[in-house]
Amino acid sequence: MKPHRIRLTHQLLLAYGLYRHLHVYRPFPASVDEMSNFHSKQYIDFLRSATSETHFSKQTLNKFNVGDDCPLFDGLFQFCQLSTGGSLAAAAKLNKQKAEIAINWMGGLHHAKHSKASGFCYTNDIVLGILELLKYHKRVLYVDIDVHHGDGVEEAFYTTDRVMTVSFHKYGRNFFPESGEFAAIGADSGRFYTVNVPLKDGITDETYQLIFQPSMHKVMEVFQPCAVVLQCGADSLSEDRLGTFNLTLNGRVGKFDSDIHFD
């Protein structure tokens, strides 16, 4: 995750004129207490003290999984506050019926775990946003179309029947995070409320839709969610340096309006 990409996204929104069709809202940074609704206080305190010049023991860095994929940088905690605050504000808008659709362009950090960073993700704004939605909604559906499995979100809600997680992703050895097999279906009260759709390299728009459409139709019919959270990782698009799918914008996004809807 490179924070400067958020500025590029903002510039694209301006250049394409999309902002004219949106109500732009600047959220407040998430507080320590808000982030601690999912993450451990010890982990959040670590993020608060972390900078590029802070010296931590190797044991501490390993404990919080900070290093290669999740390096320390100046302004890290402020970045986490803004990313998380955006998703919390989006959930609040939906809860108060001030919007039907809310987007956090800076969110979607689906790998972060309860007490550690993972896969370029430090705080899991998605989990925190869903927890906010659950204050007003009985059932929340989470759909992940990133090329990587949404393991952090799945793990957080693996034992509950109030959140169904559905992930369409590449699955295989040596491909991060090496989870998301078809047999992972949830546990305890959450059994059958986890759906994983592992896919292979090079999948095209046509094949993707043959899988996505009937799967989502059945999910919507059976689970009947009160709210839907969608993670749109761009790395499932063709020519992404990390992804291995052959999907286009038209095929990947164009059908969502009919596949994910409320009767």
User: DSSP letters of 94-116?
Assistant: HHTTS-S----TT---TT--SSS
Residue 201 annotated as binding site? no
- Per residue in 92-127, pLDDT tens? 999 999 999 999 999 999 999 999 999 999 999 999
Q: Please check if 263 is assigned to a binding site.
A: no
- Active-site choice (4, 21, 23, 111): 111
128-139 exposure pattern, b = at least 16 Cβ within 10 A, e = fewer: bbbbbbbeebeb
Domain locations along the chain: 4-259
Is 111 tagged catalytic?
Answer: yes
Q: With a threshold of 0.75, does the pTM exceed it?
A: yes
Residues of the chain with pLDDT under 70: 1-3, 252-263
- Spatial contact of 163 and 138, defined as CB atoms under 8 Å apart: no
Tokens for 243, please give them.
């992804």
Instruction: Identify the architecture of domain 4-259 in CATH.
Output: 3-Layer(aba) Sandwich (3.40)
What is the pLDDT at residue 6?
84
Angle between helices 76-95 and 125-133 (to 10 degrees): 20
Per-residue pLDDT of 35-50, as tens digits, reads: 999 999 999 999 999 9
